[in-house]
Amino acid sequence: MNNKKGIIFTGALLGILAVLLVRFGNPPNMGICVACFIRDIAGAVGMHQAAVVQYLRPEIIGFILGAFIIAHGTKEFKVTGGSSPMIRFFLGIFMMIGALVFLGCPLRMVLRMAAGDLNALAGLAGFIAGVIIGTQFIKGGFTLGRSYQQNRLNGYILPTIAVILLVFRVVAPQFIIFSQKGPGSLYAPVILTLLAGLIIGIFAQRSRLCMAGGVRDLYLIKDPHLIFGFLSIFVFALLFSLLFGGFQLGFADQPIAHSDGLWNFLGMLLAGYAAVLLGGCPLRQLILAGEGNTDSAITFLGMLVGAAISHNFALAATPAGVGINGKIAVIIGLLLVSAIGFTNILFNQVKWQVEQGRVVNE
């Protein structure tokens, strides 16, 4: 089926481009990381002051604009919103906090595995567990509610911000901060990263590639379609890592990673849990935001704020490990996301009973 070729092709493209971006200067095992790169952007605009992770990543801009452009070309740009924006904002924050305790979004998790970083396996186990837990809530009646068509202007705001950020990257005004050392100081040439972002944005929009969706569909409806994208990224990133010498098998001394298995597991569990309740991983949120979904645009803002909180409150892990603040934050995150899940179901049941005329709305 054409469909299947599309998702495998997109995964292959992503895996290959990620390895090449490292080759051309991006941080090791971080050719693409949606969480890390949003975090770098938060730093670049001064939302946090972690000196080693501040850079305006054109990849993120490319994802949003790539999806925006192709959605216009295929008449799929539809401006919708109103599906629990506040809840999405907070789930976005926690998705980011979890990812930064693991040190990577689900996409980087796959790239880390493909580069031989065995710590990412604990992350994968956590991610799958998180998606399965979140799916139980969906089965039990969790829903963020339907979205509605909105005034078209709403859909143009985030793409416009993306263009402004791109201008800032190129012009480099004084108020934009660029790391002088650490991962934030490692980057491939702007034009390459922007192009890679645009290409991935376009193909991800066409194929609907999503890490969380892959695990969810496989578990919930036994449909392997999206997981093929996931596997394709892994296979092609692995091949290219072996080819270009970036492959290094083991737990110790992996680039921009720590070896605390429990917190790799729990960090990714929180990220997967929040992602499935949101209906998509960080990459997917950017693509949806590009095609006019303002709920996903708000999730992006949540992730941006989550990144700032992570570094301002010292929640994010470092290669040395996870600090006490990060551990407490993950536990609070798991409790709060669960509380959101349970209360959402409760309120949905009440609403349903009112609609059925079984109880009187007070």
Partner 1 sequence: MIELDFCVITFYSTHLALQFEKLIKGSGLRVKLIPVPRKISSSCGIAGRISPQDLTVVRKICQEKGLAYESVYRIFNDQTKQPELVE
For residue 250, which amino acid is it? Answer: G
Dist. CA 316–CA 310, nearest whole Å: 5
Which 3 state secondary structure label does DSSP give 225?
A: helix
Residue 145 touching partner 1 (CB under 8 A): yes
3, 149, 151, 353: residue in contact with partner 1 (rule CB under 8 A): 3
Residue 71 touching partner 1 (CB under 8 A): yes
Dist. CA 213–CA 204, nearest whole Å: 13
Neighbouring residues of 311: CB distance < 8 A, sequence distance ≥ 6 = 39, 42, 43, 48, 49, 50, 53
Q: Minimum Å distance from CB 111 to partner 1?
A: 22
Q: Minimum Å distance from CB 300 to partner 1?
A: 17
Q: Minimum Å distance from CB 328 to partner 1?
A: 32
The 7-46 contact track toward partner 1, x by CB under 8 A, reads: ----------------------------------------
Dist. CA 321–CA 105, nearest whole Å: 17
Residue 66 touching partner 1 (CB under 8 A): no
Q: Which is nearer to partner 1, 29 or 83 (CB)?
A: 83
Q: Which is nearer to partner 1, 29 or 293 (CB)?
A: 293
Q: Which is nearer to partner 1, 30 or 144 (CB)?
A: 144
Distances (CA, A) of 221 to 170, 214, 314: 45, 11, 39
Residue 76 touching partner 1 (CB under 8 A): yes
Residues touching partner 1: how many (CB under 8 A)? Answer: 33
226, 269, 303, 322: residue in contact with partner 1 (rule CB under 8 A): 226
For residue 78, which amino acid is it? Answer: K
Residue 279 touching partner 1 (CB under 8 A): yes
Dist. CA 159–CA 62, nearest whole Å: 10
The first and second tokens of residue 81, run together, are 């919103």
Q: What are phi and psi of 52, to 5 degrees?
A: -95, -5
Question: Vertex 55, ends 19 and 52: CA angle to 5°?
Answer: 90
Sequence-distant contacts of 241-250: CB under 8 A, at least 24 apart: 241/19, 241/114, 241/115, 241/116, 244/19, 244/23, 246/19, 246/22, 246/23, 246/28, 246/29, 246/115, 247/115, 247/116, 248/115, 248/116, 248/117, 249/116, 249/118, 250/116, 250/117, 250/118
Segment 284 to 313, residues that bind partner 1, using CB under 8 A? 284, 288, 291
The 181-220 contact track toward partner 1, x by CB under 8 A, reads: ------------------------xxxx-x--x---x--x
Q: Which is nearer to partner 1, 181 or 358 (CB)?
A: 358
Residue 356 touching partner 1 (CB under 8 A): yes
25, 223, 328, 342: residue in contact with partner 1 (rule CB under 8 A): 223
63, 89, 90, 142: residue in contact with partner 1 (rule CB under 8 A): 142
For residue 322, which amino acid is it? Answer: V
143, 185, 259, 312: residue in contact with partner 1 (rule CB under 8 A): 143
Residues that bind partner 1 (CB under 8 A): 3, 6, 71, 74, 76, 138-139, 141-147, 205-208, 210, 213, 217, 220-221, 223, 225-226, 279-280, 284, 288, 291, 355-356
